[in-house]
Amino acid sequence: MVNLTAPFSDASVKNRQPIVEKLKRLLKKSIKVLEIGSGTGQHAVWFAPRLHWLTWVPSDLPQQILGIECWLNDFPSKNLAPPLALDVSEHWPRIKHDAIFSANTAHIMHPLQVKKMITKGARSLPHRGLFCLYGPFIFKNILLAESNVEFDKKLQDLDPYMGLREFAELNKLAAASSMQILEINPMPANNHLIVWQKTGNCPI
Ligand SMILES: C[S@@+](CC[C@H](N)C(=O)[O-])C[C@H]1O[C@@H](n2cnc3c(N)ncnc32)[C@H](O)[C@@H]1O
C-alpha cells in the first residue's frame, strides 16, 4: 500500500513507462545513473527495478529528500541508492556516475541553474557518458504545441524565470561542455527525451 504521507505526482505515473522503455536501450551499458531533480521519487522507484543491471541514484534539493525516502521505503530495490541532497548550483557529490537523467527540471530551474546543471553535469561525466534530459522544449522551425504554449505561459505567470527552454540554447551549452547531441526522441504529450554524449575532456 502506498504511504499516504508520501508526495504524489500524477504526471510521473503517465510518463514513466514510455521513458523507461527508452532508458532500457540508452542505458544498457551504464553502471551508475545520477538522477537530478527526482521530485517525489516515483520515477526512481519505477525505473530502478526495470534497469536492474545499473545503480540508480536519486537526488534533489534538501527539502525534497524526506518525500523521496518515503517512496524508497515503500518500494525498495537492491539497485536503488539513498537519495542525495543536490542543488545543481552548489557542490556536486562525487559518486562516479557514468550517466545522468533529469525529467521536467529545465523549465522549473532559473536559467543560470539550467546552465549549471548542463555544465557541471558534463564535467562530472566520463568520456562517452550520457546526459538524458526529458521534458517539454522549444525547437526552432517547429510550431510549439498549444498545450506547451499554455504551459509556458502558466510557468512564466508563476515566476518570470521559469518557462520552456529552447533546445538550441541547451545544445550550445552542451557543445561548449564537450557533449554532442546523440538523439532527440519525441515522447507522448509533446515532450522529448534529449540525449547528449560526452566526447572528451570538458574545457570548463
Ligand atoms: C517539476 S519537478 C520534476 C520532478 C520529477 N523529475 C518528475 O519528472 O516528476 C522539478 C524538480 O526540480 C527540482 N529542482 C529545482 N531546482 C533545483 C536545483 N537547483 N537543483 C536540483 N534540483 C532542483 C525541484 O525540487 C523538483 O523536484
pLDDT tens digits, 33-51: 999 999 999 999 999 999 9
The verdict on residue 203 lying in a domain is: no
pLDDT at res. 7: 86
Range(s) of the domain holding residue 116? 8-196
Which helix (H) or strand (E) covers residue 120, if one does? helix 111-124
Q: What are 20-37's pLDDT values in tens digits?
A: 999 999 999 999 999 999
Number of domains in the chain: 1
Its pTM stands at: 0.96
User: Does residue 170 contact residue 161 with C-beta atoms inside 8 Å?
Assistant: no
Q: What percent of the chain has pLDDT over 90?
A: 91
Residue 141 lies in a domain: yes
Residue of minimum CA distance from atom 1 in ligand 1: 104
Q: 106 CB less than 6 Å from ligand 1?
A: no
What is the whole-number distance in angstroms between the Cα of residue 119 and the centre of ligand 1?
17
* Domain of residue 57, CATH code: 3.40.50.150
pLDDT at 202 exceeding the cut of 70 = no
Contact 191 CB / ligand 1 (< 6 Å): no
**Enclosing H/E stretch for 85:** strand 84-85
Residue 179 lies in a domain: yes
For residue 87, what is its C-alpha cell? 542543488
The reply to whether 52 falls in a domain is: yes
66 in any annotated domain: yes
With CA atoms as reference, report the closest residue to 97 among 192, 159, 165, 27: 27
Residue 2 domain-assigned?
no
User: Once rounded to an integer, what is the mean pLDDT over residues 115-124?
Assistant: 98
CA distance 34 to 84: 9
Nearest alpha carbon, ligand 1 atom 18: 87
pLDDT confidence bin for 3, thresholds 50/70/90: low
